[in-house]
Amino acid sequence: MTDLVHQDIQSLVKRLANNLLAQGKTLAVAESCTGGWLSKVLTDSAGSSAWFLGGVVSYNNSAKLSCLHVNDSSLSEFGAVSEQVVQEMATGAQRVFGSSFALSITGIAGPSGGSKSKPVGLVWFAVKNLNNPPQALYKVFDGNRDEVRSKAVKMALQLLIDATTN
């Protein structure tokens, strides 16, 4: 990760932390394709335990089922990289940690594993706010595995900033 990307991510985390602290809110995450990268950047700053409750890296489907309580039927019917599963991951993370906000990420970082309907670079995100249903969206990022994952982390942070801005 370049210094510029690292500084950009740190700036986003600081904005998110300020939003959550100002509102007395908390955050939990559920990650798949980012492999804990989002949790890592959230905890790089001392004091993040005041607003970040924790995260689950559910890289394998069995972890999505057992840790986040994703429905087996959703995984079977839609696949791990889908709107349905990312929404269930966010709901599961919020339920497990009891957080005000939850964000989930699942995708195909590559270099293999893609298909015509789900290409390498496809990443689904869901943000869950309190008692509202999770809002999901996807993005197809270009670049190598690290670039896709880095872009996914940055987008996740921006989505959380947007969700926590009054």
Which residues neighbour 165 within 8 Å (Cβ) at sequence distance 6 or greater? Answer: 19
Closest residue by Cα to residue 122 from 154, 148, 90: 148
Please give the residue that has the higher pLDDT: either 5 or 45: 45
Task: Please check the confidence at residue 41 and state whether its pLDDT lies above 70.
Answer: yes
pTM of full prediction above 0.75: yes
- Average per-residue pLDDT for the chain: 95
H/E element holding 56?
strand 52-57
* Other Cβ atoms closer than 10 A to 50: 11
pLDDT in tens, 45-104: 899 999 999 999 999 999 999 999 999 999 999 999 999 999 999 999 999 999 999 999
What's the confidence (pLDDT) of residue 54? 98
- Token pair, residue 123, equals 């990443």
- Centroid of chain to Cα 53: 14
Q: What is the bridge-based pairing of β-strands 101-107 and 27-31?
A: parallel
Closest residue by Cα to residue 94 from 44, 161, 26: 26
- Token pair, residue 59, equals 């890289």
Q: How confident is the model at residue 7 (pLDDT cuts 50, 70, 90)?
A: confident
Domains of the chain as residue ranges with CATH = 3-164 (3.90.950.20)
